Structure 1
């Protein structure tokens, strides 16, 4: 599909910000960060100046491909070279970029320095990175910050519970679940979808509404893998 997207892009006589940004993001999302940055360089050579859309595509590409140095350089160039003020999404991309590179403390410092208002979603990104990389001191601070923000999304309470469990703070695990239940929030079940003969079928965890034959085939496939 990337080749088809490239051909479609090449056929556009007057390329706009959306077409450039979409192609950059497409390559970046599919693990082709080098090509994404080559296209960004081509964009600059065209004489156009990047806007919020293009910068978001480039920063996201850097984040997904571990291109930390280039990502930070491009972020710095936004205001310095092009007079573009980073918004919440650009800042979140930089946090994600640093977290994926295991630079968790730096990501948290960046968050505290750049975000004028608390963002529970961005804190969640850092919290996940803390748990994966064993950064318990930062993890403890973020857990407290998130609890004070009183999340209204079940996923945030699940994140908190998992982090507290990793730190063996069982009372806090219980408190996270209790707060989630008191707000009437429920964790959505895991699900997947397959397409057979042009028809999509959705499967939920522990869901048994499908035919016995379908369930038997799925069990057989799971054993083979």
Structure 2
């Protein structure tokens, strides 16, 4: 059952998660710390922090992995304050934190902008528990500082660390450079990645996007040429929604869905409603050397928007919408869904490659910090 629960967590389907939970209860499967901890992770990754907390609160025995799982769950739902609030409760229960606990805490800080708390926790790890930070802890710290715009501090932390640096560490810095449009430091990160013979196309795409934002189209062409030379392909973006037990997948400019014409027609009308409410397409996320109108047209066909339009068409009014994306949601789509949640009066839960976003009433749980 632990294997089934873990598979369901990867799938991200709340409907399936509830079925698995129901089966465990109906068949009186032995509930122990291993099964319950897996279920905490499953419900959290399927978008319900409330059901994860119910399992956690019902546990008679909690070990360090259970506490760490619940802290991590709060972290990727952007509820950093709640994540940090569990830590003193864990200590009071007599459970000693380990390296995984600190990864969960630092991750929670990085996705909620809790820079001072993250620095304090990182120091506590070494000074209070004599735990040596590894590359995963440093990656969280680079991500934390980088997201907050403290790019020089993030670089200094990398350079002064005595760990074996990996692609994830430099990739975190590169991602922060994308957010804050720091071309020079991005090039520094990419040089280090190239020295490691990085074969992750995402690193090249990030650098290409940074050049595109800066209008350096010759550099964009050079990076894309390098990708071609190294036979690296950009991972296509997909967004999935589950309606009535059936999964529907959408790509950018996708016309393969049986209701495609209806979806595009509805999307156009929705776009007009959102623009009337104040939504303005952010063409910085249309990374092509074309005019503004073409950029707007490209943005309007992103997979997130198509999936949202279909969900609004195919589900009853007032019901929450749940979507999953394999990449990080783009800034324009993030703004679009925020406005849509207000105009249509629908709650939208999106799981992307970075975290969960809970949209409702024109706001997002991430507070634009992802």
TM-score (norm 1): 0.89
Q: Map of 1:136-147 to 2, 5 A cutoff? A: 136-147=183-194
> Paired residue for 1:99, among 146, 168, 175?
146
Match of 1:124 in 2: 171
Provide the aligned length of Structure 1 versus Structure 2: 223
In the TM superposition, residue 98 of structure 1 has moved relative to its aligned partner by 0.5
Q: Name the CA distance, whole Å, in 2 between partners of 1:179 and 1:98.
A: 30
Counterpart check, 1:185 vs 2:246:
no
Q: 1:38 corresponds to which residue?
A: 85
Q: For residues 214-225 of structure 1, what are the structure 2 equivalents within 5 Å?
A: 214-223=259-268, 224-225=270-271
Cα deviation digits, residues 117-151 of structure 1 (max 9, x gap): 34233222212322432434323322333333332
Q: Is the 8 A contact 1:79 1:85 kept in 2?
A: yes
Quick check: which one's helix share is greater? 1
Q: Runs of 5+ in structure 2 lacking a partner?
A: 1-47, 272-370
1:29 partnered with 2:76 = yes
Alignment partner, residue 52 of structure 2: 5
Q: Which residue of 2 aligns with 1:64?
A: 111
Change (3 A) 1:133 1:79: same
Deviates more, 1:122-131 or 1:153-162: 122-131
Between 94-103 and 123-132, report the one with greater CA deviation.
123-132
Once the two structures are TM-superposed, the CA of residue 187 in structure 1 deviates from its matched residue by: 1.1
> CA offset at residue 171 of structure 1?
4.3
Tell whether the 8 Å contact from 1:33 to 1:65 is kept in structure 2 after alignment: yes
Aligned equivalents of 2:194, 2:221: Cα separation in 1: 13
1:69 alignment partner, SS class:
helix
With CA pairs under 8 Å and 6+ residues apart, which has the higher RCO, 1 or 2?
A: 2
Unaligned runs of 5+ in 1: none
> Match of 1:111?
158
TM-score (norm 2): 0.56
